[in-house]
C-alpha cells in the first residue's frame, strides 16, 4: 500500500474514534475538562482525539487512553473503537460499533450522568445517572450547572432573535 494511501486509511479510523468520543461525551453531559478529570488524563488529549490531531499530525492515541476514556464514560471500549468487528483493509466506513455487541444494553447506558457525578465524581467511581434524558440544552445546562443564581436569566436568549427583539 502506498504511504499516502496508508495515511488516509488510518486518518479515517482516527476521525471516527474522535466522533465516537465526542458523541459519548456529550451524551453523558460532560465537558472535555470534566471527562479529563474522570479519566485521569489531560483535557488536551481529549481535544486532540476529538479533532483527530496531535501537533499538526493525525492523532494516534495510546491504547491505555482509550480504555481510561471508556471507563470514565462507563461504556465498553468497543463502543469507542470504530470497525472493531472488521478486518482492517480499507478506509473506515463504520458509523459506530458494528459488531454483535448489544449497547446500549440498559436504559441508563444512554443517559447523562447525574449532577453529583458530573461535579464531584472521582476517577474510577461507578457513576449514577440522571433519571431521564434532558429535554433541551437548557435543561442539560441546569443539570450540569444547577439553577440560575440571583441576577441570572431564567432561560437562555433565543439565538434567532435580532438585537432589541423579545421572544414574547
Return the CATH number at 114: 1.10.260.40
Task: Specify if 79 maps to a domain.
Answer: yes
| 3-state SS assignment for residue 63 | helix
Q: Which residues pair with 113 in a beta bridge?
A: 129
pLDDT of amino acid 126: 85
User: 129 vs 68, which has greater pLDDT?
Assistant: 68
Task: Specify if 150 maps to a domain.
Answer: no
Task: Specify if 162 maps to a domain.
Answer: no
Task: Specify if 15 maps to a domain.
Answer: yes
Residue range 117-164, pLDDT digits in tens: 989 998 888 888 887 765 555 555 555 555 655 655 454 444 444 545
Task: Specify if 156 maps to a domain.
Answer: no
Could you give phi then psi for residue 54, rounded to 5 degrees?
Answer: -150, 110
Task: Specify if 69 maps to a domain.
Answer: yes
Q: State the pTM of this model.
A: 0.63
Question: What is the mean predicted confidence (pLDDT) over 92-107?
Answer: 67
Domain that holds residue 130: 3-145
Task: Specify if 68 maps to a domain.
Answer: yes
The helix (H) or strand (E) run that includes residue 10 is helix 3-27
Task: Specify if 160 maps to a domain.
Answer: no
Question: What is the mean predicted confidence (pLDDT) over 67-76?
Answer: 95
- Does residue 103 carry a pLDDT above 80? no
- Does residue 31 carry a pLDDT above 80? yes
Pick from 35, 118, 42: which is nearest to 72 by CA?
A: 35
Counted domains in the chain? 1
Amino acid at each position: 500500500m502506498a504511504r499516502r494511501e496508508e495515511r488516509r486509511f488510518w486518518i479515517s479510523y482516527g476521525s471516527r474514534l474522535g466522533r465516537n468520543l465526542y458523541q459519548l461525551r456529550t451524551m453523558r453531559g460532560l465537558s472535555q475538562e470534566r471527562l479529563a478529570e474522570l479519566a485521569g488524563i489531560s483535557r488536551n488529549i481529549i481535544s486532540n482525539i476529538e479533532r483527530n490531531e496531535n501537533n499538526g499530525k493525525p492523532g494516534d492515541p495510546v491504547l491505555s487512553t482509550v480504555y481510561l476514556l471508556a471507563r470514565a464514560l462507563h461504556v465498553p471500549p468497543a463502543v469507542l473503537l470504530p470497525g472493531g468487528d472488521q478486518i482492517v483493509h480499507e478506509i473506515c466506513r463504520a458509523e459506530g460499533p458494528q459488531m454483535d455487541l448489544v449497547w446500549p444494553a440498559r436504559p441508563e447506558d444512554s443517559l447523562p450522568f447525574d449532577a453529583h457525578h458530573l461535579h464531584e465524581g472521582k476517577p474510577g467511581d461507578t457513576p449514577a445517572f440522571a433519571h431521564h434524558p434532558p429535554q433541551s440544552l437548557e435543561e442539560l445546562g441546569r443539570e450540569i450547572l444547577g439553577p440560575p443564581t440571583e441576577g441570572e436569566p431564567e432561560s437562555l436568549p433565543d439565538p434567532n432573535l435580532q438585537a432589541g427583539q423579545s421572544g414574547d
